[in-house]
Chains A and B, each alone.
Chain A
Amino acid sequence: MNFDLRSLRQQFPFFSAHPDWIYLDNAATLHKPQAVLDAMNTFYSQHNSNVHRSAHGLSQQATAAFEAARSTVAQFLNARFSHEIIWTSGTTAGFNQLVFGLMGPVLQSGDRVLISSMEHHANIVPWHIHALPFGVQLDVVPLTADHRFDLAAYSELLKLKPKVVSISHVSNALGYIQPIADIVRLAKEAGAIVVLDGAQGIVWEKIDVQALDVDFYLFSGHKLYGPTGIGVLYGKTQYLELLRPLLGGGEMIKTVSFSSSSWNDLPYRLEAGTPNMAGAIGLAAAILWLQQQDLTAFQQHKSALVQRFYAGCQQISALELLSGPTTNAGIVALNLKNEHPADLATLLDQQNIAVRAGTHCAMPLFQALNVKGSVRFSFACYNSFDEIDRTLAALATAVELLAE
């Protein structure tokens, strides 16, 4: 391991506030290193002014910091231009803008969109709201028998010529890393616009949007050690320019009269209203922090955590494991035979183990798996082997209690 876990944990003040807890709900939100909190504090205490608008020098300072944050994200993703980074409030908001924006200019009645069985509701419901009522049809890539993305079925469904393919980079419920290089390549060969939901994937591996040739990539700041309320919709210029803005208002216009308005250039056209300035600066600080860390060591550590936890769970015979330990970004989903996941999660909560129970905003996936839900253990770079062992002991206690 190329990092010192103790000094890494010390950078996260949350843990000193809650020394009794084991936090394994990292897929829901990550904790924030001090560097992120400091950057946001500095912004509010020293640079706060509204960006792009006011004539004064203070506003220009704030604008410079805000646009520098955009450049940081652009470099992080290796986007060609900074204006290809659209600030959103998170992946969900990004998807709503994206789907709304595609309707009309790209998608019309009779067109098809292809998603997968593993999608989060954020990559399902916006299609229901903004696309299906206008005659767009949604096709779904099924799971293989071992709950993986079915590339063969995907290739077949691409023959239906979907205009847009929208797939998760990493499954939020099962943790599987999807074969995104193949997904993008095959979609491009079929002539589709490709969207990747990076909410869970962005923290796992470095994304080079140009090398990958993906058309849209979305993620949330808070799942990348950054603040809540900020996210990114990356898009290639040619496609972003097609999008109809979902939100109208200040900043996104060139001219407005009472009868009509003309829209501003990218990225502002898709960023109506005062943006989340401190959020953008916090997210950039998180990225700069992450770039100083050893991402490969993080990956190896998370994989080792998953392996150890998975192996421990296999020793408890009544557990049914829904996700396997290979090509897994740090999530183990499981159930206790004949018991409700909520009961298991409550008994873990009693032992100060923070996990999530339910269908994890992926109800259709659980319908496909034919289970009520699961208890999800999600691991991050700052979790330790000792925490895994204590969690396994707590799990054994909970299982014993439920077996009585």
Chain B
Amino acid sequence: MIRPDIFTETATALKKIYVNHLPQLRQLRDWQSKYRILMTLGKELPTFDSEWHRDEFLVQGCESKAWLLHYQDPVTTQHFWAFDSDARIVKGLVILILTQVNGLTAEELAEATPELLLTELQLQQNISQSRSNGLLAVLNRVKASL
């Protein structure tokens, strides 16, 4: 069973990251400091039960595993996600993506370009190069939630 409050807890954590960590990441210039923050973002998320590490939630990536849960509010049409990965950097990158799309309505999500944040932060210069780490697959899955 998926605990429904995982989505509200994740939404709270993502908002906190949006407010606290994004401005920090925007200011930093050296890659070490940026990756240091990126790799700790996963700790901000609520516990992702290990029983959700199921194939139905697995996003096929090449190097690391990523699990994505999705919920759409039938009334507001807002989209919510919960996420886990066994690799810290991919987890951090996906969290940054989710800060851009979590809670968007279907209409807003259709227009969203969350990957631009990674380019802006110079964390992933070219999203198409990220096929091997599973990031592109997660991004496609997020957009396919529509």
User: Is B truly associated with A?
Assistant: yes
- B-binding residues in A (CB < 8 A): 339-343, 345-347, 350, 357-358, 372-373, 397, 401-402, 404
Q: Which residues of B have CB within 8 Å of A345?
A: 63
Q: Which residues of A have CB within 8 Å of B90?
A: 342
Given the known interface contacts A343-B87, A346-B89, the answer about A401 and B39 at a Cβ–Cβ threshold of 8 Å is yes
Residue of A nearest to B134 (CB): A342
CB interface residues, B 57-100, toward A, < 8 Å: 62-64, 86-90
Determine whether the beta carbon of B88 is less than 8 Å from that of A343. Answer: yes
How many angstroms between the C-alpha atoms of A350 and B64 in the bound complex? 18
CB interface residues, B 21-36, toward A, < 8 Å: 31-32, 35-36
Determine whether the beta carbon of A340 is less than 8 Å from that of B64. Answer: yes
How many angstroms between the C-alpha atoms of A350 and B132 in the bound complex? 16
- Per DSSP, chain B at the interface is helix
Query: Can you give 8 A-B contacts (C-beta < 8 A)?
Result: A340-B64, A341-B63, A342-B64, A342-B87, A347-B35, A358-B62, A358-B132, A401-B39
Q: Does B133 contact A (CB under 8 A)?
A: yes
Q: Assign chain B's interface to a size class.
A: 10 to 19
Given the known interface contacts A342-B87, A342-B133, the answer about A350 and B62 at a Cβ–Cβ threshold of 8 Å is no
Q: Which residues of A have CB within 8 Å of B32?
A: 397, 401
Determine whether the beta carbon of A340 is less than 8 Å from that of B87. Answer: yes
How many angstroms between the C-alpha atoms of A55 and B103 in the bound complex? 69
A-B contacts besides A342-B90, A343-B87, 4 pairs, CB < 8 Å? A345-B63, A347-B89, A358-B63, A402-B39
Determine whether the beta carbon of B31 is less than 8 Å from that of A373. Answer: no
Q: Which 7 A-B residue pairings sit nearest by Cβ, starting from the closest? A: A340-B87, A342-B63, A342-B87, A342-B64, A358-B63, A346-B89, A343-B89
How many angstroms between the C-alpha atoms of A342 and B39 in the bound complex? 12
How many angstroms between the C-alpha atoms of A200 and B84 in the bound complex? 36
